[in-house]
Amino acid sequence: MNSRFFTGFILALFLNSFSVSAQDLPQKIQQYFEAYQKDTPPEKAYLDLDKHTYTLGESVWFSAFLVAGSSQIPSPLSQTLYVDIFDGDGVLLEQKIIYLENGRGKGNYDIPTFGKAGNYQIKAYTAWMRNFGEEYFFTGGFSVVDGAGGSFLPKVQIQKIESNSGKATYTLEITAVDQIGNPLANKTLSLIAWGDGEELHSQDLSLNAQGLANFSFSIPEKAFESQHLELTHLENENYETSQKIRLPYSLNLADIQFLPEGGNWVLNKKSNMAFRAVAPDGIPIEINGKIIGTEIAFKSNFAGLGKFEITPSESYYKSQIEDPITGQKREISLPGAQVDGLVLQVVNNPVASYLTAFVQGTYEPNSLILASQTRGIINYMIQGSLTNGVWGVRIPKENLISGINQITVMTQDGKPLLERLVFIRKETQELTLTASTSASFSPREKISLDIKSALAGSPAPGSFSIAVLDADQVEDESNGYGTILSNLLLTSDLQGNVYNPGYYFKDQEPETLESLDLVMLTHGWRRFNWSQILDNELPKVENFIERGINIEGQISDQEDTKKGMGGGKVTALVGDGIEIVNSEYGPNGRFIIRDLQYLDSATVTITAEDTRLKNFVDVEIVQPEAVFTSIPGNYPIEIKWPKDLIATYQERNLMNRLSDESDIMDLEEVVVEDQTIEKETDEIRKIYGSGDVTIDPEKIPGSVGYTNVFQLIQGRVAGVKVYVAGTDVNVQIRGVGSINAGTSPLYLLDNIPVDANTLLQVNPHDVASVDVFKDPAKAAIFGAEGANGVIAVYTKTGAGVTSSVGGTLVTNYGGYSIAKEFYQPNYAEKTAENSISDKRATIFWMPILDIDGRGNATIEYYNTDISKRQRIVIEGIDSQGRLARFSQILN
């Protein structure tokens, strides 16, 4: 049934059950949601990654999904998606601008071989999404491991945390071993405790013969957004290895809330009391507790959530909470129970065909309304009253759609009294996927994989992404990182962190469903506020839908005459005629060139002609401000060391390098003529070649606010420490060094040796790239002067922003990111490239797989030398917004 007709049909039923005086309310609610969908339909983004654990030097492949409106169909609105990638410390590393077509796009991020290990984070959003709040952006991540490391794998065990006079005192044990389990006997470690980038404590530790150290230290008891320990081991005189591990918080800093079902509880009325315990960094805390003066005891689950039944005979209760790991205890007061009022209990029996809502208590006047809606689609509304203090309502599940369902009990004039979230999952509204093959998974065997998509047994077309993984190297981490189902149906509609979101969609077992309901009881709904609905207050639109690259700028009077500008026309020429776009500007000189379509970067010529001043004007580009320049760091609870993935590290890196040399870029039918010449010019300028890490300032949106070159390097290269204080600069590069060469690296400015103070004077806006040489083999070309590493800065030579002349400005402006093609070897022929060992972890990746109306698709790929078990992961969506996920191991 058409959703708009269905909604109208339900509304007509509602109106027949309402008194004349109450009919305005459902009409007002319905009109609001219709306007909401028509004028400000929200968008949601989701990124499907090929996997979630990588080693340095690998490529992260992702497929982008963007949906819009309550039905969550592939978005016909935005064509520009921003993907921000942050390292484990929360430093913005790169921004990808992804071109979308029918809500689908693709991209990749190349992890530098000499980058930083850690828990990387991703945010994805459109300009339109910014109108609805940053908390609804897609947030994901992946883990990066140093495959060449492994000599220092510490384990931290917190034994006790004590609080006293504003200090948290930690007692802990550290065990340090290498990758094969040998203890770092009698070694010395250095430890620093950090909180939001502030050094809180530091000391040296002496390990015993078993690689153990027991010690205590104190830090301020403060709710830092993130806090961690940095442990450093000096392997030899010149090389340090560091590991960062999350530092747990004092129980006193935890956000512990008791939340009665429906938001209210009343004396002598039985209620479900839910609770949640969360640390300041959003990680849950598992707790035990009891209600003082009663026999009620409770215990949280893995996500710090739980509930218990209570019939209050008193208005106020206290609980005693204990952290079973640290031993800390704390008393928390429960919210006060009301003497009179209403309570709500919702029963969602999986086998029943309806939801049951029980309202109990007293309320005058005794006339209530119950409304049920999902993402702005009203699915049930009824007027009723209490009979003997009870009102029961059955909501047919056939009316409901998958996702978070909000049940609200309100007064006749729309004042909400009780509210409850219930999650509905209808597998009949999901596509069914299957994948099969007759292959034996022999080394380098050509494999044909047959994929079928269906809905209720009938063939179903859709757009999907597919990853084929070596199951012995890659674990299933969907519980922790989430899936297309958990994101688009759950986390994208809730504020705050949902821990292990994919867990709630792994099956429909009672334990899983109960855990999901705890999420509903403890996370409030925020997309719709009833006061805004009743006041017909739609989201404020400050950011518009982007269907291309936008360039904003300012035109000003060149001679600063009294005449002033009158407004005029502005023209943008992209490349050598790739695109010509005209726009206008007013007397204030502000202009915007909208919806340009080109990849990578291109020369853009902007010409302005004023009605009064003609071409005697200056043209300036206004750089957009970054949404994020940094976010709180995300630190592992323990050091991750995937042995099977590490075992193939060298072979995979060699194959990655060979594939990069022969990589064919997918330009999606857009040709940027000057790219080859620009690349060749860049190679000529870099007479010493590229460094181990190359930093492109244009990929760091926050760099527009930087005041010196060293800020471009700070926090972006593993093993490189940068300290800038006034005119004093100190840079240390780990992994290189010479007794006779001092400690400072060699600095180059456009291939010419300079000192640090000279680089300090270079405007970061004039920098084209920064190359950092860490590998002694690469730095050997510089001789003894490069023994401590090299930092080479290259400035823009005509490709960057230049001063405007005669109302014309020529600039190089970034466009959509180019998506690399996934390298797939062809073993039908014997070639030099095919002679190397093939131990790929991601065997096959296709970011956009379109299945037609027959519901069938076949893909072909070659097996590796070692894979015997392959994990097939497929995610996707059809044109009606129905989702699909398939994950299975094929032997």
Rg (CA), the chain: 30
| Cα–Cα distance, 567 to 276 (Å, whole number) | 58
- Give me the pLDDT at residue 806, please: 81
Q: How do beta strands 432-436 and 446-455 pair?
A: antiparallel
Report the amino acid identity of residue 534: L
Could you tell me the strand order of the sheet in which 617-621 lies?
Answer: 590-596, 549-557, 617-621
Q: Is the alpha carbon torsion for 561, 566, 567, 571 positive or negative?
A: negative
Report the amino acid identity of residue 572: A
Nearest to 608 by CA among 567, 580, 577: 567
- Give me the pLDDT at residue 676, please: 40
Residue where the block lists tokens 């009698």: 186
In this structure, of 187-201, 250-264, 325-339, 666-680, the range with the lowest mean pLDDT score is 666-680
- Give me the pLDDT at residue 703, please: 67
Maximum mean pLDDT: which of 575-579, 593-597, 808-812: 593-597
- Give me the pLDDT at residue 735, please: 60
Read off the pLDDT of each residue in 757-761 and give the average, rounded to a whole number. Answer: 84
- Give me the pLDDT at residue 590, please: 94
Read off the pLDDT of each residue in 320-326 and give the average, rounded to a whole number. Answer: 94
> How far, CA to CA in Å, does 352 sit from each of 348, 355, 356?
8, 8, 9
Is residue 4 scored above 60 in pLDDT? no
Is residue 16 scored above 80 in pLDDT? no
Question: What pLDDT band is residue 527 in, cutting at 50, 70 and 90?
Answer: confident
Question: What pLDDT band is residue 803 in, cutting at 50, 70 and 90?
Answer: low
Is residue 293 scored above 70 in pLDDT? yes
pLDDT in tens, 586-635: 999 999 999 999 888 888 899 999 999 998 899 998 888 889 988 999 99
Is residue 489 scored above 60 in pLDDT? yes
Q: How do beta strands 318-322 and 288-291 pair?
A: antiparallel
Structure tokens at 319: 């609980």
Is residue 68 scored above 70 in pLDDT? yes
| Cα–Cα distance, 621 to 605 (Å, whole number) | 11
Question: What pLDDT band is residue 704 in, cutting at 50, 70 and 90?
Answer: low
Helical (H) or strand (E) element with 534: helix 530-534
118: left (phi over 0), alpha (psi -120 to 50) or beta: left
- Give me the pLDDT at residue 1, please: 39
| Cα–Cα distance, 792 to 781 (Å, whole number) | 13
| Cα–Cα distance, 16 to 29 (Å, whole number) | 16
Is residue 675 scored above 80 in pLDDT? no
Cβ neighbours of 728 (radius 10 Å):
10
Q: Is the alpha carbon torsion for 354, 360, 366, 368 positive or negative?
A: negative
pLDDT in tens, 25-48: 888 888 888 898 899 999 999 999
Question: What pLDDT band is residue 674 in, cutting at 50, 70 and 90?
Answer: very low
Question: What pLDDT band is residue 454 in, cutting at 50, 70 and 90?
Answer: very high
Residues contacting residue 352 through CB under 8 Å, at least 6 positions apart: 397
The SS3 of residue 766 is: helix
Question: What pLDDT band is residue 785 in, cutting at 50, 70 and 90?
Answer: confident
Cβ burial, residue 800 (10 Å; 0-12/13-18/19+): middle
Helical (H) or strand (E) element with 853: none
pLDDT in tens, 437-453: 999 999 999 999 999 99
In this structure, of 103-107, 182-186, 481-485, 494-498, the range with the lowest mean pLDDT score is 494-498
Could you tell me the strand order of the sheet in which 767-773 lies?
Answer: 693-695, 767-773, 790-795, 746-749, 752-754
Q: How do beta strands 354-361 and 342-347 pair?
A: antiparallel
In this structure, of 5-14, 21-30, 370-379, the range with the lowest mean pLDDT score is 5-14
Question: What pLDDT band is residue 422 in, cutting at 50, 70 and 90?
Answer: very high
Nearest to 52 by CA among 669, 567, 467: 467
- Give me the pLDDT at residue 148, please: 87
Is residue 421 scored above 90 in pLDDT? yes
Nearest to 815 by CA among 703, 662, 668, 634: 668
| Cα–Cα distance, 704 to 183 (Å, whole number) | 46
- Give me the pLDDT at residue 508, please: 92
Mean pLDDT of the chain: 88
Cβ burial, residue 338 (10 Å; 0-12/13-18/19+): middle
Say what the pTM is.
0.89
Structure tokens at 77: 């609105």
> How far, CA to CA in Å, does 119 sit from each of 55, 142, 519, 670, 711?
12, 6, 25, 35, 22
In this structure, of 71-85, 96-110, 745-759, the range with the lowest mean pLDDT score is 745-759
| Cα–Cα distance, 264 to 340 (Å, whole number) | 10
pLDDT in tens, 692-703: 888 888 777 766
pLDDT in tens, 250-291: 999 999 999 999 999 999 999 999 999 999 999 999 999 999
- Give me the pLDDT at residue 841, please: 97
Is residue 525 scored above 80 in pLDDT? no
Q: How do beta strands 138-145 and 53-55 pair?
A: parallel
